[in-house]
Structure formats: C-alpha cells, structure tokens
Structure 1
Amino acid sequence: MTNTFSRQVLPTPEALRPWVTGIGSVSVGAGSAEPYVQLPDTATTVVFRVGENGRRSTLVVGPRTRASYHHGRRFASCLEMRLAPGTTRPLLGVPAVELVGRMVPLDELAAAPARRLARELRDLEPEEVVPHLARSFPDLSGAADRSRTALVTAGADALSMRTGRVPGPVRDVARELAVSERQLRNLFAEGVGLSPKHYARINRVRAVLAQADDVPWAQLAATTGYYDQSHMTTDFRTLMGVPPRSFFTGRLPAARPCRAALAGR
C-alpha cells in the first residue's frame, strides 16, 4: 500500500490574525514505507482531526523541542491552526509551558476556556471551524492582556530568522523591549512555552531545513547565524537526532509507531 501526504496552506481570516499565525489542511494516506517526521516546533497548534472511521477529535499539540520519527500512520485528515505567541493562555486558559511536548484532547484540559472551545467545536465539520472562530472573535478579543501579548510577539519576532537578518543575543532583545532577561524568560514561558534561547535555536534549525537544498553547508551556517559549520552540525544533531548530511540522505533515527506519538510523545 502506498502512502500519500499532502499539505495545503489555507487563508487566515482577518479577524483571526491577531490569534493565529497560520492555518493548514493536511491529509495522510494509510500505510507508509517512509517515516513521518515531526519537526521541532515553537508553536502551540490546535488540530481538528478526522480519522479513517470518520471519528472527529480536537487536539492541542504543544511546542516540540526535538524532532520525532514515526511509522505506521493511519489515514487521517486534519485542519491545523497554529496559535500566535502569547495567545495560548487567553484562548485555552493554560500557559504554553504546560503543553510543551504534549498532545492532548482539547476537552481534557482543565481550564474553562479550553472546555468551552471544545464544546463549541464538537459538532462542527472541519470546514466549518475557521468561519465559526472568525465569527466568534469579538467574544475572544477581550480575553488577552494586550500589553503582555505584544511583548511576547515582539520578542518572538526579534528572535526569529528573517531574510537577510540573523537574530541578536537574548540580552539585546530584552534591552530593546525594555525588560530584564528574567522578565523575558517568564513572558516566553507563559506565552510560548520555551525559553527565548530555545525558541531561537529551534527557529534557526528550521531555517537550515528550509534552505539546505540551495546553499552550501559553510555558507548556510554563516547565513543562519552559527559560528561555523561545526556549530550548525552540533545544534542540528541535538534537535533532529542526526547530523544534517544524514538527515538529508535519509539516514534517520529509528521510527516509533505513530500511536506512541498520540499517547503523549
């Protein structure tokens, strides 16, 4: 049996843009000869999943600090909604740090906002979810501490890779935001789930993944802000489990059954 995997980027309604950085539709076919790779990720994601038996579920996937590799994936189609930095607590009622490395049903979170959102979405088809949330945005907009959210957003932007710009040290970002490094760490723990340093580290490795096909290794290390190629290789191996050359030639770590990932990774 062959495996099919498709991903489509969907438009984000204007009303949701303060809360959501991206929406995607993902379809995975039954059976897989190749492992399914879950990359390190700085975002908390709400996933609306339809399994092979038609059963629907709404999951919350927290930030992932390292890559994981899985096989035996069954058919599923999903709508994925990546939450913006600083919005996890106002939307779900829990700080992002409590969700790191976890995948849990939305209605199993103890906080009232998560349970309320789960009830609202329980009977919707995946294609109805985004329009519903866009309509309910006025009810959500008062839930956020705008000043804290703005600081987390600005910090995340400053520590993210951009074309032609490498993020500066955490201490410089804190100074630009007029907060202490400790305050910045606390803001990131609640609003992102990761330390500013780990956030930047994941963002940098993902930049390597995105650019590796087009740029020589040494040049790639320089453009993504590493001291040298050896530094890039060490960081990549720590987060991805193998060095860059092994990853891009398919020499990957042993894959685990996908059900292990759904049990909590």
Structure 2
Amino acid sequence: MARTARTAEGEPVSVTARPSAPALVPLIGALGYTEGRFAHSAELALPTGGVQLLVNLDGDVLGSSGRRTRGAALQGPHTLPAVIDPAQQRAVVWAAFRPAGAYPFLTAPVSAVRDELVGLDDLWGADGAALRERLLEAMAAGGSEACLRELESALLRRAGRPLEPDPAARRAAALLDGGTPVGDVADRLGWTSRRLARRCTEQLGLTPKRYARVRRFQRLLGRVNAGPRNPDWASLAADCGYHDQAHLIHEFRALAGITPTAYAPRSPHERNHVPLGG
C-alpha cells in the first residue's frame, strides 16, 4: 500500500510503497517517489548501512562527494557521510534494499560498491541505461504509482541470483543491528569470525564491526529524533551501547562529520539528511 506524505500546505511531497511483487518482498523494504524544493545548497547524507537504487527524474545526473553518474545509479553502503546536492532530489524514484537484499542484483560482492555511487549503465548495461527513460514514460502515462510498478518490473528482470536472500546473512545483520557483539554473532551462527567477516562483506557490503557501528549510530539517531529537543547525551550513550559520552561524540564525528550538537536534520522523518548551508 502506498503512503503519501504532505507538506504543511497540503502539497504531496512523497509516495512510499512496499513491493507488490512477492518475489521482491524479502529483498526490498520500500520503494518510493519523492519531490522536493530545498533552500539549502548542500546537505550531508549520513551512513545507514544500506543500499539504495536512485533515479533522478528531474535531470540525467546524480552525484555525491564529487562522484557523478548518469541519472540512474546504485548507492552502495556508506561508511562516511556524503555531500549531496538537494537540486538532484526534486523528483527522485528510489528503492531501499533490505540487508543482503542487493546481492542478487549484482555480479560482484556488495563490498564492490561500498562508498560508491555507481551508474546503472555500468552495472546493468543497456537495461540500466534505459531505466530512467522507462520510468519517465510510466510517470507521464500513469503517475507515481505506475512509475513504481515499472521499477518493480525492472528489478524482477534484473535479478541474477535466486531471489531468496541468504537467511544466515540476514540473521547476522539482525543480530548486529540489535547490538549483539560481533564475537557473539559468530558463535550464535556457528561460524568462525573469518567466515562471518567474509559473508557480511560479500552480502552486506561492510565488515561486521563496521556494520555494527553504523547501525548503532542509526539507533542513536532514532532516539534523538523521537526525544526532546535537548537530548541527554550521556544517557543516550549508555542506552545505545557507547562506552560513555566521549565515545558517542567521537563516533558521531566519524560517521556524520559533525558534532552531536550541530546535528539538525531536514525533519525527524528525514534524519539522515542534514542541510549544510543556504
């Protein structure tokens, strides 16, 4: 079912949907179409540990932190914040992959696109090069929901490996996401640490330690955006698994590029987009 978010003036700004094709449900958490006009000239996109497919319908270009591609691209899992241009978000179609969900759509390990924005024409050849035009045609013919259906069809055509994600990799991601120590995750799966590292790097795109750090950071941001305007950072550090407030501040700087007190996202619902200037 699609969900539409609206501005205070009542204008639609985004449509979000779950995949309707059953084969895609285990792989993709959500698809969406987002429109926006922003006063700021640049913003930080913070690391989430996930992979996204992005298509800019407003212009045939995408870029982040100096990397530029054509208007349809795959954003690999970040380990650092990326600087992006809000002008490229005026009309964007996207798909957010579940943990290990991007793996069937690539011919190489997910780590090959870590910290990279890779054009779909490079990844998928002619199919990737044609996707943006197909989505523009679907949008013109039937609006955003028709556009999302066309994106689903394209994803179904492109899947190379079996569409069922590796359950062990998904289990590892869930345990790491919940704060289970890396060594305990390997023990619960009956794996060696080396096997855990290999499987996570291949299918999540990050080492277990790095994935755990990014997901802990995301738990922190979730708490910050759900809480009072002036957070108690010492309490949050204890609740989110940091050694102390100093450790939290160090990790925040490393993963966001700013201090916790400088963090001011576009909105509580867009916690990973932080405006940088007017």
TM-score for both structures, normalised by structure 1: 0.76
Aligned: 1:144 with 2:158 = no
SS of residue in 2 equivalent to 1:94: coil
Aligned: 1:118 with 2:125 = no
C-alpha distance 216-50 of structure 1, shift in aligned 2 (>3 A): same
Measured against aligned partners, the alpha-carbon deviations of 1:183-209 in whole angstroms (never above 9, x if no partner) come to: 111111111111111111111112222
Measured against aligned partners, the alpha-carbon deviations of 1:122-150 in whole angstroms (never above 9, x if no partner) come to: 5233544542455577767772385x711
CA distance in 1, matches of 2:27, 2:149: 14
Aligned: 1:51 with 2:58 = yes
Moved more, 191-200 or 210-219: 210-219
Aligned ranges 1:75-90 → 2 under 5 Å: 76-90=90-104
Please, which of 189, 210, 221 is the counterpart of residue 209 of structure 1? 221
Measured against aligned partners, the alpha-carbon deviations of 1:162-219 in whole angstroms (never above 9, x if no partner) come to: xxxxx11101011111111111111111111111111111111122222214152122
Count of aligned positions? 240
Which position in structure 1 is the counterpart of 2:255?
Answer: 239
SS of residue in 2 equivalent to 1:48: strand
SS of residue in 1 equivalent to 2:79: coil
C-alpha distance 138-212 of structure 1, shift in aligned 2 (>3 A): closer
SS of residue in 2 equivalent to 1:123: helix
Please, which of 186, 189, 202 is the counterpart of residue 174 of structure 1? 186
| One-letter amino acid of the counterpart of residue 43, structure 2 | Y
C-alpha distance 132-182 of structure 1, shift in aligned 2 (>3 A): same
Aligned: 1:158 with 2:147 = no
**Contact 1:67 1:240 (C-alpha < 8 Å) held by counterparts:** yes
C-alpha distance 237-136 of structure 1, shift in aligned 2 (>3 A): closer
Aligned ranges 1:208-227 → 2 under 5 Å: 208-213=220-225, 214=227, 215-227=231-243
C-alpha distance 18-196 of structure 1, shift in aligned 2 (>3 A): same
C-alpha distance 180-54 of structure 1, shift in aligned 2 (>3 A): closer
State percent identity of aligned pairs: 23
TM-score for both structures, normalised by structure 2: 0.73
| One-letter amino acid of the counterpart of residue 198, structure 2 | N
C-alpha distance 187-212 of structure 1, shift in aligned 2 (>3 A): same
**Contact 1:64 1:101 (C-alpha < 8 Å) held by counterparts:** yes
| One-letter amino acid of the counterpart of residue 50, structure 1 | L
SS of residue in 1 equivalent to 2:184: helix
Which position in structure 1 is the counterpart of 2:32?
Answer: 24
Which position in structure 1 is the counterpart of 2:198?
Answer: 186
Measured against aligned partners, the alpha-carbon deviations of 1:207-261 in whole angstroms (never above 9, x if no partner) come to: 22222141521221122111211111111111111220122499xx9959xxxxx
SS of residue in 1 equivalent to 2:44: strand
CA distance in 2, matches of 1:255, 1:5: 24
**Contact 1:52 1:76 (C-alpha < 8 Å) held by counterparts:** no
C-alpha distance 217-8 of structure 1, shift in aligned 2 (>3 A): farther
SS of residue in 1 equivalent to 2:71: strand
Runs of 5+ unmatched residues, structure 2 = 1-10, 63-69, 267-273
Runs of 5+ unmatched residues, structure 1 = 162-166, 257-265
Which position in structure 1 is the counterpart of 2:44?
Answer: 37
| One-letter amino acid of the counterpart of residue 241, structure 1 | G
| One-letter amino acid of the counterpart of residue 35, structure 1 | A
